[in-house]
Amino acid sequence: MQFEKAPPEARQVLGMPIRELGMSLEASPVAELVARLYSELDAKGVHHFRPHCYLSDEWGCPSGEPVIGIPFYLGDPRVAKVEDALNDIEGEREIMMYLRHEAGHAFNYAYELYRTEEWHALFGSFRRPYRDDFPFVPFSRDYVRHIAGWYAQKHPDEDFAETFAVWLDPDSAWRERYRDWGAIRKLDYVDRIGREVGDLPPTRPTGETDITVEEMQQTVEEFYRDFQVDETPLIAELALEADLTDIFARRAQHGVETRSAAELLAEHRRDLVDKVNYWTGVRRTLVRALVLAIEHRLGELQLVAERDRSRQQMMELTVYITTLSMTFLTGKKPLRHRRPDR
């Protein structure tokens, strides 16, 4: 656990029970984004659907319940810094992506669309079992692209939630982007249903929450030690030295300006992890652990990047990390993105 990477004021909350931090959604920084979600629904003509949002242990919409759970760390700036040190906290754009996705689940449950024949014909059986290790067709045009990986292909309910999120996003330009895709039928369906129920109260206006922040008895540190995925066994046996010394030099040649290869990677770490996660579907925690391990090894070996070639070297390193993620680390079977879940 990399708690030491969090600032001192953030580490002070590690021993505090979560329920005693005094967090509330209304007083949190994310409250403004929930209000934006409601405004986007209103702009789409959906005037009576306002899913209840609450702070919980993770992103989620309990199955069949038109409510939205939001990670508690977004409710306190100190805990947010702990999350950022461990996992790279979501930015505003990412939070809105998750809110729109979870709103899709909640909308589906509020109007019980999943019970209709048309919904089943378009998206599939709602009763299909959930699998974390789900088969997918990369770059399929029958599904929208929203959350990292090929998340719409995980389950019909996720397909609907992703389609709804793209439709709701005011910047998605979905009519143009998906014009020639099979997914356009699903988007047209959501657009029509949104207009049909826009002035109707939901069949299920309220729902039951699962765990709330007021019920979370463990301390912040206990939560992360229990919840954090340990990826080290998957990367412990990687022989990185030979490959990394093919990409970067051990020492500078005479007259060649260099910089630390570890510092170069650290500078681009967040974007690199995000993009590898997005395009491969390999879970973010695994990609991040791999990148951090490589960054650490670059520092140990004191490898350097040539300033005139640093862009080329960074591109080669990105390809290397992507290849490792898709093959060696996953046994040639990609591990899927798991957040958010319904």
Q: What is the pLDDT of residue 148?
A: 84
> Which pLDDT score, from 0 to 100, does residue 274 have?
93
Residues of the chain with pLDDT under 70: 1, 252, 254-255, 328-342
Distance CA 33, CA 36 (A): 5
Using the structure block, give the residue that is written with the tokens 């809110």.
Answer: 99
In order, the DSSP letters of 118-178 are: HHHHHH--TTSPP-SS----TT-TTS---STTTGGGS-HHHHHHHHHHHHH-TT--HHHHT
Phi and psi at residue 33, to the nearest 5°: -75, -30
3-state helix, strand, coil in the chain (%, to 5): 50, 5, 40
Distance CA 164, CA 61 (A): 14
Using CA atoms, how far apart are residues 333 and 135, in angstroms rounded to an integer? Answer: 10
d(CA 11, CA 56) in angstroms, rounded, equals: 21
Give the pLDDT of residue 233. 84
What mean pLDDT, rounded, does the chain reach? 91
Per-residue model confidence (pLDDT) at position 293: 94
Buried b / exposed e over 208-245, threshold 16 CB at 10 Å, is ebbbebeebeebbbebbeeeeeebeebbeeeebeeebe
Q: What is the pLDDT of residue 266?
A: 95
DSSP structural state of residue 304: E
Task: Give me 308's structure tokens.
Answer: 């005139």
pLDDT tens for 125-165 read: 999 998 877 788 888 999 999 998 889 999 999 999 999 99
